[in-house]
Structures are given as C-alpha cells and as structure tokens.
Amino acid sequence: MTLKRVVVTGIGALTPIGNTAPEYWEGLKAGKSGAAPITRFDASLFKTKFACEVKNFDIGNFMDRKEARKMDPFAQYAMVVADEAIKDSNLPLSELNPHRIGVIWGSGIGGLFTFQEEVKSYAKGDGTPRFNPFFIPKMIPDLSAGHISIKYGFRGPNFVTVSACASSTNAIYDAFTYLRLGKADVIISGGSEAAVTEAGVGGFNAMKALSERNDSPETASRPYDKDRDGFVLGEGAGALVLEEYEHAKKRGAKIYAEVIGGGMSADAYHITAPHPDGAGITQVMINALEDANIKASDVDYVNTHGTSTPLGDVGEIRAIEKVFGDHAYKMNISSTKSMTGHLLGAAGAIEAIACLLALKESVVPPTINHFTDDEGLDKRLNLTFNAAQKREVNVALSNTFGFGGHNASIILKKI
C-alpha cells in the first residue's frame, strides 16, 4: 500500500518560558531561562529548591473552575494546549467526520499532584478511607486524551503513551503512523506533565538526578558544559494537530511542516542509566532516518534530549557522531532543555514544536548556560552555545529518551 503523507497544521504550548506557542518561541530565540525558586510548595528542606514552573497561569481563564477541579494539573495543561492548537489549525470541526479525528497523547507520570495530595490526606486522618471520587480519574494518564475527546466529540483513535521522557515523542510517532496508514484524517497529539511537587522533586532528588545549583537556578540547566550536575525539573504541555496531507490541502490549511519519519528503540540495559556505548540512541536515529527514507547528510538540525546530566549528554553526542559521521560537524545541535528544563513526558512535544518553528523561521534555538568546555566533547561540533543562530533548516530531528531505556526520535521536513 502507498503510505499517506502527514503534516502539522496547528500547535499549542504552555511552558516555563511562555504560555502560548508564539511566546514559547520568542523565549527560545531570546535564550530565556525558565528556572527559578519553587513556588508550588515550601522547598527549603529539599536538596533542590528550584524548578522550571509554568508562570502566571490561571486555569480559570480557560475553563470553568468546577470542571477544572475534576482534573489534575497535567490534564488541565493538556486541555489548554489542545485548544490553542485546534484554534491555530482552523479545523472546520462541524464539517468533519468525528470518527476520523483522534487524540494520541503522552504523559510520563500523569496525576502525581493528585496522588500525593490524596495519600497525604488519608495519612493525616483517623484511618477511615475517605477519598475524593475523582481521585482515580484525575490520576490516571489516559484521562488527558479522554478529556480532549469528550470536549470536542472526537471519536477516532484515543489513548496515551507512557514511556517516561519519551512519552510524547512516542505519541506523535504513533499519531503519524495511524495517519499514514489511513486510520484517521486528523489526530491531536502531544504531551503534558505537572511533576513539580514534593513527591516529584523529592523522588528525583533521591535518585541524584536533579541539579542542586540552588545559588544560581537560572544557570543550572547546562547541557554539554563541563560542570553540569543534573537536570532541572520542568512542567507544561505541547500539542500538535497532525493531519493527512491531502485532507489539509483540500481545506487550504496552513502547514508548518511535514512529519516524514520516526524511530523507536530500547537500550535493554538499566532502569535509569543510559547504555554506556549509546547503542539504543544510535539505533533509534538510524531507524528514524530509514523510516524517513533520507540520508544522515540531509539533516540540518538535531534537537537533542540533552538533559544536562554527566552521562546522558556524552552518550547522545557519541551516538550522533556515530550516526552522522563528518556531517555531525556541519549540522546545528542544541538542547532547548537548557531553557525550559526537563518537561519529562511533555518534553518531546514542546521540542518537536521548537523544530517546527526552526524549520519555519530558519533559526536554531540555542543551548544556553555554556561556561566551560567539556574536554570529552569534540569542539568541531556546533552545539549552538548561548545564542540562537540563523541558518536554513530543511530537515530537523528531535530525540527523547526515557527511564527504562525507551528511545524515540521524530523527523520533520520543510514543505
């Protein structure tokens, strides 16, 4: 069978550096850091006292507060960005077949805040099991896709992928696959996460995964810097409207770019540590290039997973050098997590949006907070340090990797 082409016709973003897709893009180009002392709770006793929180956000500006109380923040974020993306796409919803419109979302953790608060409440009580009737529906990750479909009446494919920090890239790739197989005409895809909680920060601290640079939060996320000491926890969401190309063309849709391929792989090595040889990361990029039917030399920009961890950053760069050879020194490479922090299951969605806008505007967003070269990294690599760079970007690849050894990549092309 002939596979159908898939394009992106709408985007929405809620991030630590901008509460809409245009604001987010302006923040990226400006090299803005979203890291600051935590305001969600008293973090004075925590090893890490800062995070990349969403700022100046009031859910009451987007939905009835009574409805909002039925949702964990991660689902609220999903609703907000899905609405922005659908409006941006100008989908004529009343004219379309709802059975041909789906929602495939991603979240690594889901309703962590709800789970934490319900358990705290129970622990403080007299042992009588009093739980909110919305406890389970607020907590489980799949309700993000469920809420979006209920609001709009979308009756096509509907589920949530859970693969830690690769979740929303997996969701986008799944949506792409369903569309090119003709299983739907339109799929709303992306991811959301709201893990800046006592349990989230405490749990990652216990793993020694987070930066503890409390004296300078805004410079704490420093991928590829010699003195990187862990990632900065972020929160937020990103949404993309993926649409079958002929369907989009027929209605005269604005097209950001084409999704031309993707890949998945597993490290099969360790629950949290990356494979020391970057074997899974190498394979996922090879799989993505083969799926897109392009050569490594066709790629202009790689948005890396680049979390600012000592082992992870080097492993990914080694894999890039292995896959791209000498072309690795001709591409731009950057980690936008240096600005947004790590949005976990939502990372792939907002980073795919960064790639889309890099294609559209011929601007590569930077890797900020570079102060000291890591002698273990080849200086010939253009890691786009500290300032955005103008260049023609025709093909962009986005990487995301998750605990458990889950690897996912997506490739986007200018159209």
CA distance linking residue 403 with residue 37, whole number of Å: 26
- Interior angle at CA 67, CA 62 and CA 68, nearest 5: 60
Which of 339, 407, 415 is closest to 15 using CA atoms?
339
CA distances from 355 to 35, 111, 201, 317, 384 (A): 22, 28, 28, 18, 14
Instruction: Give the H/E segment covering residue 80.
Output: helix 73-89
Write 312-316 long-range contacts (CB < 8 A, 24+). Answer: 312/274, 312/401, 313/223, 313/224, 313/228, 313/374, 314/374, 314/376, 314/377, 315/274, 315/275, 315/276, 315/277, 315/278, 315/281, 316/274, 316/278, 316/281, 316/399, 316/401
DSSP symbol at 181: T
User: Of 247, 342, 370, 406, which is the active-site residue?
Assistant: 342
Concatenated DSSP letters of 186-214: EEEEEEEE---SHHHHHHHHHTT-B---T
**Phi, psi of 201, rounded to the nearest 5 degrees:** -65, -45
Which of 118, 172, 97 is closest to 345 using CA atoms?
172
Both tokens of 389, joined, read 């760079």
411 forms bridges with which residues in the sheet? 261, 397
Examine the residue annotation and report whether 342 is marked as an active-site residue of this protein. yes
User: Of 52, 165, 247, 406, which is the active-site residue?
Assistant: 165
- How are the residues of the chain apportioned to helix, strand and coil, as percentages rounded to the nearest 5? 40, 20, 40
- State the amino acid at position 303 in one-letter form: N
Examine the residue annotation and report whether 355 is marked as an active-site residue of this protein. no
**Phi, psi of 71, rounded to the nearest 5 degrees:** -125, 140
User: Of 147, 247, 305, 370, which is the active-site residue?
Assistant: 305
Both tokens of 212, joined, read 């503890």
Q: Which residues are CB-contacts of 412 (< 8 A; sequence separation ≥ 6)?
A: 8, 257, 258, 259, 260, 352, 355, 356, 359, 395, 396, 397, 398
Q: Please identify which residue in the block is written with the tokens 């985007």.
A: 11
Helices 112-124/198-206 angle, 10° precision: 100
Strand pairing class (363-364; 389-390): antiparallel
Which are the catalytic amino acids?
Answer: 165, 305, 342
